[in-house]
Amino acid sequence: MKKQLLIPEIAFLLICVGLSGCLEESNETIVTRAKIIGIWYQEDEGEWEFKANGSLLRDYGYGLWEEKWEMNNSYIFITFIDGAIINYSYKLLNDDTTLILESNQYNESYTLTRGQYE
């Protein structure tokens, strides 16, 4: 009888250990997301504001565009106002003050910096 009770307990333990790896990735994503939230500037182009609620405000000096963004693994997905969804790999550099977004889909990249250009 005790052997039968031990098998479900071992199975539960293995499931918990297996899922603990998923939690580590989630924590890393949460930390990275927190580093990206805020206002970034693209030299001579305008500003991008990544908000915690998933909205992205981009101002190019001739109008404010409200788009959407989300993170998944090592990508940022941006849904533009025309409905196009583009995935960007990203890098945080220089003590998290430079954000580089690169899209292989459209062979484009953006370099964004915290702090305002004058």
Ordered domains of the chain (ranges, CATH): 2-113 (2.40.128)
Predicted local confidence at residue 113, as pLDDT: 96
Predicted local confidence at residue 86, as pLDDT: 94
Structure tokens at 23: 């939690």
Predicted local confidence at residue 1, as pLDDT: 47
Give bridge partners of residue 38 from the DSSP assignment.
50
pLDDT under 70: residue ranges of the chain: 1-26, 116-118
Q: Is 99 exposed, middle or buried (0-12, 13-18, 19+ CB in 10 A)?
A: buried
Predicted local confidence at residue 96, as pLDDT: 93
Structure tokens at 33: 């997301």
Predicted local confidence at residue 15, as pLDDT: 56
Q: What is the pTM of this model?
A: 0.72
